[in-house]
Structure 1
Amino acid sequence: MRFYFIIILLISLSFNAQVLAQSDEPVDAHISTEQLHLSMSIGAGVITNPLYGADNIPLVIIPQIAFYGQQWFFDNGRVGYSFKQTQQHNLSLVTELNPESRFFIDWHPQNIFALKSASSNNQFTQLETDTSPQQININNISKRKLVLDAGISYSFVAEQQMLSVQALHDVNSAYNGWRAAIQWQYHGQVGNLQLKPTVGVNYKSAQLNDYYYGLNSDETLLGKIVVGSSWQPYAKIDARWPLSKANALRFHLAYYDYSAMDSSPLFERHYSTTAFIGFEHTF
């Protein structure tokens, strides 16, 4: 039991670290190599879960760990190998956990120890008594797996701006699909306030969306539901106010649009937001 608790803790920390570290884009070409980058943010925040029956994900303690060698690197759960790395260009092979998994991981002990059968009829009972049969609780469907994705990531850095693109495919053949993203980020400063506004759009294949947000015929009386591919925009802003060389105040706000998933009855809201404010210490 202790082993599973450690695994769950590491996965949770990995997801939380990616919230502030923004590891979905390639590394800034100016980061120092052969040096461990370690910081800890403590504060209050939340990732809102847009699915029916799902809990929001609290953000309290967020570690950030990165190490860059000459070619290999680790950045908050993202592992990669850089084929080309200059002041302006970075081309890497990367691998990371699929971020959609975070909406389906439920940390309540009752869901770990509860005696559930794969042939349970709970979903049918819920559908018969629900006032809106188009709303499906995620606790009444099959569990979605953690998925490891791998692919190519490229970034172009020009002065204070960075444009990045990536395309990843699942490694363990859970959904046999792929996802891609294009993102623009600006690194600016107003007085002592350091700002990083970000805008981008995610592309997700039909196989990915159907695996996470579609439904099989044995999961609902509505029959099999497919979602199809989607383009989903997002926007973020990250702010940092240095208090000393090692300490700073940290603020992060992000909005992810899921309106393209309106054909899935799993969604209670067609967006997810992330908000965090706290104190950051760099070791």
Structure 2
Amino acid sequence: MWSIICARIKIILSNSCVLTLFIFSVPKAQAKQSYEDIYQTQSGWHLGMATGYGKIDNPIHQGNDIPLVLIPKIEFYWGDFALNNSQLIYTPWQNDSTTFSFLTRVNEDGLYFIDDLLSASAGAAFLQRPLMSDGGPNQQGNKTAPALMRGEIERIDDRKISVLAGMEVNHDWNDWRISAAWYREVTNYHHGDEAFFSIAKAWRGQSHLWLTSLEWQYQSEELLQYYYGTRLADWIAGFSRFRPNSALNTSIKISYRYDISSHWDFIAEARIQRLDSMLNASPLLQQQHLFSFFTGFAWSF
């Protein structure tokens, strides 16, 4: 199951090569089956690798866009249990169209704060973006919005990568899938929550598969305060004060796969995400609209 643009994992090879990975997928063998089967999983091991080029926008101040070169596929399905790259999944109940699962996931926000991203791809050209506005007219009156003070991002307090656990419900109907999920942080860093609701549609040809999806992401105040709010160490580093409320982010995703042979595919995916406008006031963030993509060739076994 090739996964692109849901979560990212950092791997170190030969002590220096950092590979940034995406997770989202559809089983290859079932792309040739009916729409009812297109989202379903298979049993046993599923291994593979994709190579190509892509990048993930990093919204953090002074952050570099993250290049993508290799994407692994490591999956194992055994009865009601599954390992899907970074996810552990237990599905105690399912029927022909609906599944209910308990699962874990890595929080994506923490991955934006990983150090030494420049080692991810030697000589890669990183796209530079202007900072958010440092103040301007308030749309609700004649007041002036407070200036966003930004210092050295390397001096802020550490933000750790958190793990969340929760539950998910998927319902499939013909070429449609509706999903809802809720997660609570279990690594004792921020005790925050995330929730997702998405609608996806598939179009299938003899050798072609298109997937489009629309997703809404809720993030609690506790989670956002840990990653994008500021505290004493951040104020000392030169960043202005900010305490967020809960947020609702939206994203649109398009995926494509062309079956070259039983083991090879051409794959491509792009996602545009809009962060809640409330986060514009965070001095740690420098953009509201994030773009991610990957295109390349995938081998599966």
> TM-score, normalized by length of structure 2?
0.76
Unaligned runs of 5+ in 1: 1-6, 111-131
- In structure 1, what residue type is equivalent to 2:70? I
Task: Name the amino acid aligned to 2:174.
Answer: E
Distance 1:53 1:239 in 2: 32
Q: Secondary structure at the match of 2:204?
A: strand
Residue equivalent to 2:12: 9
Shift of 1:17: 3.7
Q: Give the conservation status (yes or no) of the 8 Å contact 2:249–2:275.
A: yes
* Matching of residue 203 in structure 1 with residue 218 in structure 2: yes
Structure 1 CA distance for aligned equivalents of residues 117 and 39 of structure 2:
41
Say whether 1:94 aligns with 2:103.
yes
AA aligned opposite 1:270: Q
Q: Percent identity?
A: 23
SS at match of 1:262: helix
| Alpha-carbon distance in structure 2 between the residues aligned to 1:282 and 1:241 | 13
Structure 1 CA distance for aligned equivalents of residues 284 and 254 of structure 2: 28
| Structure 1 residues 74 and 256, CA gap change in structure 2 (3 angstroms) | same
Aligned-partner Cα distance in 2 for 1:224–1:62: 38
Tell me which residue corresponds to 2:175. Answer: 160
| In structure 1, distance between residues paired with 2:208 and 2:280 | 38
In structure 2, what is the Cα distance between the partners aligned to 1:223 and 1:193?
50
Structure having the higher helix fraction is 1
**Aligned residue for 1:30?**
40
Within 5 Å, give how 1:63-212 maps onto structure 2: 63-108=72-117, 133-190=148-205, 192-212=207-227
Q: Distance in 1 between matches of 2:100 and 2:175?
A: 19
Q: Which residue of 2 aligns with 1:262?
A: 280
CA distance in 2, matches of 1:16, 1:222: 30
1:124 equivalent in structure 2 = none
CA deviation after TM superposition for structure 1 residue 8, in Å:
4.5
Query: Which digits, 9 at most, give the CA deviation of each residue in 1:93-123, with x for residues without a partner?
Result: 101111111211123589xxxxxxxxxxxxx
What is the number of equivalent residue pairs in this alignment?
249
Distance 2:267 2:252 in 1: 17
Q: Distance in 1 between matches of 2:148 and 2:211?
A: 42
- How far off is 1:74 after superposition? 0.9
CA drift of 1:9 comes to 3.1
What is the aligned partner in structure 2 of residue 119 from structure 1?
A: none
Structure 1 residue 45: deviation in Å?
0.6
Going from structure 1 to structure 2, the CA distance change for 1:137 and 1:164 (only over 3 Å counts) comes to farther
Please tell me whether the aligned partners of residues 149 and 240 of structure 2 are also in contact (alpha carbons under 8 angstroms): no
Distance 1:187 1:68 in 2: 23
Hey, what's the Cα distance between the residues in 1 that align with 2:99 and 2:255?
22
SS at match of 2:79: coil
Show the 5 A alignment for 1:50-61.
50-61=59-70
Distance 2:181 2:175 in 1: 20
Q: Distance in 1 between matches of 2:69 and 2:218?
A: 30
Q: Distance in 1 between matches of 2:296 and 2:160?
A: 31
Match of 1:214 among 229, 232, 253: 229
Over 4 Å off, 4+ runs: none
Q: Choose from 262, 270, 289 the match for 1:271.
A: 289
1:240 is matched with which residue? 257
Report deviation, 1:37: 1.3
Name the aligned partner's letter for residue 227 of structure 1. P
| CA deviation vs aligned residue, 1:123-167 (integer Å, no higher than 9, x gap) | xxxxxxxxx753354322112011110011111011111111100
| Unpaired stretches in structure 2, ≥5 consecutive residues | 1-9, 27-36, 120-146
Q: Does 1:21 align with 2:36?
A: no
Let me know the Cα RMSD of the aligned residues: 2.4
CA distance in 2, matches of 1:249, 1:109: 27
Partner deviation per Cα, 1:216-275 (whole Å, 9 max, x = no partner):
033115664201100000111110111111111111101111143112111111122111
Partner-residue secondary structure (3-state), 1:219: helix
Q: Which amino acid aligns with 1:168?
A: Y
Q: Distance in 1 between matches of 2:233 and 2:210?
A: 48
In the alignment, the residues of structure 2 paired with residue 196 and residue 8 of structure 1 have an alpha-carbon distance, to the nearest angstrom, of 28
